[in-house]
Amino acid sequence: MYVVAEKDIAGLMTPEAAFEAIEAVFASMARRQAYNFPVVREAIGHADALYGFKGGFDGAGLALGLKAGGYWPHNQERGLINHQSTVFLFDPDSGRVSAAVGGNLLTALRTAAASAVSIKYLAPKGAKVLGMIGAGHQSAFQMRAAARVHPFEKVIGWNPHPEMLGRLSDTAAELGLPFEAVELERLGEEADVIISITSSFGPLLMDDHVKGPTHIAAMGTDTKGKQELDPGLVARARLFTDEIAQSVSIGEYQHAVAQGLITQDRIGELGAVVTGDDAGRGDAEVTIFDGTGVGLQDLAVAAKVVELAKQKGIAQQVEV
Ligand code: NAD
């Protein structure tokens, strides 16, 4: 099997390669050539950790495997990052393990790529202003990936912890874009595209904040109980997601469904927009992409990184 170390991923994987891998796997999911396995996520009763697996099989890209990992809240005290994961790939013809790949940077890149795919296909025509809700680790990745697929002219941002906003202004400066910190009311009114990426357990962006044609990539909600959007806003938008089953159970749409404001048949797959089977934005004023994060995304970027590591001769080969 091949081993690609976490430290080597930054030199191998590019946001462009991540974008292509995620766009392709969303299309495979919509064509029913790829499917995700049920997610396992457990509080293990040790070190306050949450641990689990996300896996799947992509019959088009021939990627079989899983990402194992989770969240260790005390890691920072030991100089490690709190989110830890590793992707394992298997040969779909023989079942033999074929690769182990560091999953931390890949998770950030694949999550950013997902919102970027949604922006490419769903942003309102002539969108100029990008609104960022959230200023944590992921926010910089999301902003860079968004700027790569659309020529934004300005970034505005809000975060529940204002002391973290420096990350957004630094990232905008790196992209050569002006940045302004604003209240949520102004963000909803002025932004043409909004990315939310927080750990919120209650609605932040309200229905009456959002004015005019807008696309919202809701990326923070990946667990039961988390929430970033007002269910009333969800109810009036045209809805898309990576995987419908996840969006109504652990994604942003869980709340609007629970309140009886929407039913599952209102939700489309972003992959079907990529393949052209869904018209996408159409005449909708507001579109939402609920990016819940699926195992197939992890497999897609991991398979790409193994290919790149082999090409560059830096994949270590070991016998198991
Ligand atoms: P982080 O810990 O670096 O940043 C957390 C962000 O959430 C900050 O903006 C912080 O101000 C805000 N926040 C913290 N507690 C909050 C609360 N109680 N209410 C409202 N906001 C709060 O985390 P990150 O790595 O930037 O990830 C952000 C979120 O995205 C997390 O919830 C994470 O689980 C989620 N995530 C989703 C995917 C996906 O595929 N959908 C992938 C990776 C991360």
Q: How do the pLDDT tens digits run along the chain, 320 residues long? A: 999 999 999 999 999 999 999 999 999 999 999 999 999 989 999 999 999 999 999 999 999 999 999 999 999 899 998 899 999 999 999 999 999 999 999 999 999 999 999 999 999 999 999 999 999 999 999 999 999 999 999 999 999 999 999 999 999 999 999 999 999 999 999 999 999 999 999 999 999 999 999 999 999 999 899 999 999 999 999 999 999 999 999 999 999 999 999 999 999 999 999 999 999 999 999 999 999 999 999 999 999 999 999 999 999 999 99
pTM: 0.96
Tell me if 160 CB under 6 Å of ligand 1: yes
Cα(21) to ligand 1 centroid in Å equals: 24
Which of the listed residues 39, 76, 82, 138 should we mutate to test ligand 1's pocket, taking the one with most ligand atoms within 8 A of CB? 138
**Cβ of 73 below 6 Å from ligand 1:** no
- CA separation, residue 207 to residues 15, 82, 170, 176, 255 (Å): 32, 33, 29, 31, 14
Atom 1 of ligand 1 has which residue's CA nearest to it? Answer: 136
End-to-end CA distance of the chain: 7
Instruction: Decide: residue 92, CB within 10 A, 0-12 exposed, 13-18 middle, 19+ buried.
Output: middle
Domains of the chain, CATH where assigned = 2-107+296-317 (3.30.1780.10), 123-293 (3.40.50.720)
Kindly give the number of the ligand 1 atom that is closest to the alpha carbon of 108: 43
Ligand 1 mean position to 199 CA, how many Å?
A: 4
Could you tell me if the CB of 11 is within 6 A of ligand 1?
A: no
| 3-class SS of residue 300 | helix
Ligand 1 center–CA 198 separation, angstroms: 3
